[in-house]
Structure 1
Amino acid sequence: MLFPKLMQKVILEGDLRLIDARGRTYDCGDGSGERVTLHLHNRSLEYKLVLNPPLYLAEAYMDGEITIEEGSLRIFLEMLARNYHVLEKNRLVMLGFKLARHTRKLKQYNPVGKAQKNVAHHYDLSGELYDLFLDTDRQYSCAYFRNGDETLEQAQTDKKLHLAAKLHLNRPGLKLLDIGSGWGGLGLYMAQEGGCDVTGVTLSREQHKVSSERVQKAGLEKQVEFHLRDYREDTNRYDRIVSVGMFEHVGKQNYHEFFQKVSDMLEDDGVFVLHSVGRINDPGPTNPFIRKYIFPGADVPTLGEVLPVIEDVMLEVTDIEVLRLHYAETLRNWEERFQANRAKIAEHYDERFCRMWEAYLLGCEMGFRHQGLVVFQIQITKNPTAVPQTRDYIYEWEHGIKKEATQAAE
């Protein structure tokens, strides 16, 4: 009975009904909003769920030990997210969170070989899976919604445009490194729109295969190359460096190594743009469900953890932008596409996999809507004169590219 009692203390806003394995009913919340009824089918859950709610709730849903008889998983997870600040104050739950904080350094151990295994766990899944919920360019990171009503494809194109503008691609032939180059879309964009000579590095065999094929198909073999290697193994120097959605996998104890390596590779007049998920509240461990099942070794930084390290290696921060609900909207689009293709995904994997990914996509969306998750875009240089004094150049470059695209379409 511990879990129902915990939920009665935690759910202050919303309408949650719990049915335990004995058929007993418990009502939680103030009755506002749409009701969610959860049925627990295993007696052990009544006690187990109290020890680590974020992990064990997701596992119970994945295994069918919890079913939703009224409402939906989306409504339930949003209810939890809105009331999460109360859950964090529970003494028993806090004990588990403190233990996670003490052990997270061990979980962030990130040598070259282990880093590749962590990446393979998620990114070497079937390419067909990603085609079923990502945009056509396979951009697997936060999109940029200028107005909020764009298609996912447009918002992802605008993300690439926004990053290119911040890199200040002021002349053709700039040597650019893409750390964590994914399926190659960003690197190809930098070559085609910015005239850069692009090197991309990834630890995913599947991503490397696809990105290399895309280079050949585009006829850009002399301008773009992708390598299956760790960024720490690169010995070249670059005019521009960009990293999108990779820093979350570095781990706090490895921040100094990361920025020192970037400093070593960046030319004296170079520009580096870092795009990373971050927190705007207190530092804390990554959700244990996400760490165990989705992104092993991942960790989400705060600016307070990152900026002192950047300064320590004598790099200069020249611009910071905080993207707030952009990732929530990106995840909403992904989840809708995932659901539209759920039957195909279940055929390729299984029902448990689909439930796991539902919990992942919806849970992360709620984290960005209600729990202080954002995206940081940090522009970094060695020399304050490497970029213009005002931000006008960013929007002028974006406007120029959009104008060219409109004229070409006409």
Structure 2
Amino acid sequence: MNMQHTTQELQAVVNTDSRLYRAAADLLARADIHLNGDAAWDMQLRKPGVPERAFASGNLGLGEAYMDGDWDAGQLDEFFAHLLRARLGDEVKPVRLAFHALTARLFNLQSERRAWMVGKEHYDLGNEFYAAMLDPRMTYTCGYWKDASNLAEAQEAKLDLVCRKLRLEPGMRVLDIGCGWGSFMRYAAEKYGVQCVGVTISKEQAEYARSLPGGANLDFRLQDYRDMHERFDRIVSIGMFEHVGHKNHRTYMEVAHRCLEDDGLFLLHTIGKNKRQSTSDPWIDKYIFPNGDLPSIGQIGDAMDDLFVAEDLHNFGADYDKTLMAWHANFEQAWPRFADQLGERFRRMWSYYLLSCAGAFRARDLQLWQWVLSKQGVLGGYQRVS
């Protein structure tokens, strides 16, 4: 096929002379992204209307257009790394998304009634599906890649890092808020001899965790964190705070405070955002994590005010890039097993989710924090663990 024929085909697909096409091309060029260019991260337009959808609805329109097959990129993760590093999203503020931002600001989207939505719509997707994508321990949070060469090693390293930061000792009683499939609880019980209680809002996760052998010291409960009133030597929460919502941050910290022994430690592991006054991504909210709300450092600080002493804050957000890319590789390898059940639009949606998030962490647009908190301050100071 000669170049002239290719150009004619392109013009038949999209009006390259339109005002919005030129505006999109000029904007993307500032991030070294070119429409129908040759680089792996360049945007390849397959159908008309993509610039219009992106300008009208931001990432919601861009993501839905990708799900529909209207555009592609050879390396979608690099497309987003370039896009977010250039902060182009700050310049595209669709009017129709103002309602999304206002709703998140005014209403409690993570109330006790609504909190169960993410469990049903995301985590209850199926244990077989997640087992194919995750590591053998089913750990659905950022791995710690400092000395790891693969996903399984990175996740075990993260679990051990948490145990060491909490200074676990045999016989301690530990609360896991948002325990997932129980990877931390099982590791901590096996390696450090502790007893664990975990709460989750996912029926699938709770049933899976209970089905595994060796759970004498493990208690998995299908329960909202706000209903916990027992006392524990240690508390851990790994990748759950992103679902709490800014209107419930203080309540969450108060629950942790009342459940923690006075000399105990609390480790909070959460994705975070760089700017307080920002709302959740509308595409992620609609298709992946309903009612998700990433915290900022300032919001976490406000929530713990006069409740906890921040003993340590560790950011290893760049490791989430590697984790997400490993999950995507597993997903692609396993996809033939799920293709008939879930369909091509789901495949594109899930790839967009994993790769766009990888790009966001690569661009340092998102962070991953581990906070170590105490109620009264560790006498003599807390020694950092890495």
Normalization by structure 2: what TM-score? 0.89
Which of residues 64, 69, 80 is equivalent to 1:59?
Answer: 64
Distance 1:80 1:385 in 2: 43
Distance 1:367 1:78 in 2: 6
Aligned to 2:157: 158
Q: Output the amino acid matched with 2:32.
A: G
Aligned to 2:53: 48
Distance 1:266 1:15 in 2: 50
| Equivalent residue pairs, number | 368
Which of residues 271, 274, 289 is equivalent to 1:277?
Answer: 271
Which of residues 42, 45, 49 is equivalent to 1:36?
Answer: 42
Indicate conservation of the 8 Å contact 1:251/1:299, yes or no. yes
Cα distance change, pair 121–285 in 1 and its aligned pair in 2 (3 A): same
How many Å apart are 1:234 and its aligned residue? 1.6
Q: Output the amino acid matched with 1:78.
A: A
Structure 1 residue 82 and structure 2 residue 75: aligned? no
Higher relative contact order (CA 8 A, sep 6+): 2
How many Å apart are 1:34 and its aligned residue? 3.9
Q: Output the amino acid matched with 1:164.
A: C
Aligned to 1:180: 178
Aligned to 2:9: none
Which of residues 222, 226, 229 is equivalent to 1:228?
Answer: 222
Aligned to 1:241: 235
Cα distance change, pair 194–35 in 1 and its aligned pair in 2 (3 A): closer
Cα distance change, pair 209–3 in 1 and its aligned pair in 2 (3 A): farther
Distance 2:156 2:32 in 1: 37
Distance 2:319 2:51 in 1: 36
Aligned to 1:336: 329
How many Å apart are 1:146 and its aligned residue? 0.9
Q: Output the amino acid matched with 1:389.
A: G
Aligned to 2:131: 131
Does 256-265 or 103-112 show the bigger shift? 103-112
Structure 2: 5+ residue stretches without partners: 1-17
Which of residues 203, 206, 210 is equivalent to 1:205?
Answer: 203
Structure 1 residue 391 and structure 2 residue 383: aligned? yes
Q: Find the residue that maps to 2:295 and give its secondary structure.
A: coil
Distance 1:35 1:379 in 2: 38
Aligned to 1:311: 305
Q: Identity across aligned pairs (percent)?
A: 31
Q: Output the amino acid matched with 1:165.
A: R
How many Å apart are 1:74 and its aligned residue? 3.6
Aligned to 1:355: 348
Q: Find the residue that maps to 1:277 and give its secondary structure.
A: strand
Distance 1:35 1:244 in 2: 32
How many Å apart are 1:296 and its aligned residue? 0.4
How many Å apart are 1:196 and its aligned residue? 1.2
Let me know the Cα RMSD of the aligned residues: 2.2
Cα distance change, pair 9–316 in 1 and its aligned pair in 2 (3 A): same
Q: Find the residue that maps to 1:16 and give its secondary structure.
A: coil
Describe the superposition over 1:49-75 as per-residue Cα deviations: whole angstroms up to 9, x where unpaired.
2112211111111122x143x734344
Cα distance change, pair 2–213 in 1 and its aligned pair in 2 (3 A): farther
How many Å apart are 1:152 and its aligned residue? 0.3
Distance 2:83 2:233 in 1: 45
Distance 1:89 1:42 in 2: 22
Cα distance change, pair 2–124 in 1 and its aligned pair in 2 (3 A): farther
Q: Output the amino acid matched with 1:133.
A: M
Aligned to 1:5: 22
Aligned to 1:402: none
Distance 1:318 1:231 in 2: 23
Distance 1:274 1:323 in 2: 13
Structure 1: 5+ residue stretches without partners: 19-26, 396-410
Indicate conservation of the 8 Å contact 1:285/1:299, yes or no. yes
